[in-house]
Amino acid sequence: MTNLSKAQLKFLRKVGQKEKPIFQMGKQGLTEAFIEQIDSALEKRELIKFNLLQNTSEEIDQVTERIAQTTQAHVVHVIGSTAVLYRPSKKEKYQSLSQDVAKIGD
């Protein structure tokens, strides 16, 4: 997994700001099913946003880091109880965002 440059992260934060969270973690906490859903969504969308509900006992930083390590994704942004993750898709038909990120370069 290559590191993203500051310009690339800035671009991804800008794109991620417009997205709505597609996953919410509640009192069940971080489960394998939750990680699998995020992994699947990253493959199709490349950039996802999720948030933690108030009734969870998990900490956003720990959850985000664990998900990023498990799915081999980049943590783009964490603010409040919301996190944005990015991972280039392996399938060419889903790679529109990763192509834009690659154009930015270093």
Q: What is the pTM of this model?
A: 0.92
53 domain-assigned: yes
The CATH number linked to 14 is 3.30.110.60
Question: Euclidean distance between the first and final Cα of the chain, in Å?
Answer: 15
Tell me the pairing of strands 23-25 and 47-52: parallel
Q: Which amino acid is at 35?
A: I
Kindly state whether residue 104 falls inside one of the protein's structural domains. Answer: no
Q: Tens digit of pLDDT for each residue in 36-70?
A: 999 999 999 999 999 999 998 899 999 999 999 99
Report the percentage of the chain scoring pLDDT > 70: 97
β 74-79/82-86 pair status: antiparallel
Query: Which pair of structure tokens corresponds to residue 96?
Result: 């529109």
Domain that residue 28 falls in: 6-98
HEC readout, 16-35: HHHCCCCEEECCCCCCHHHH
The total number of structural domains that make up the chain? 1
Classify residue 105: in a domain, yes or no. Answer: no
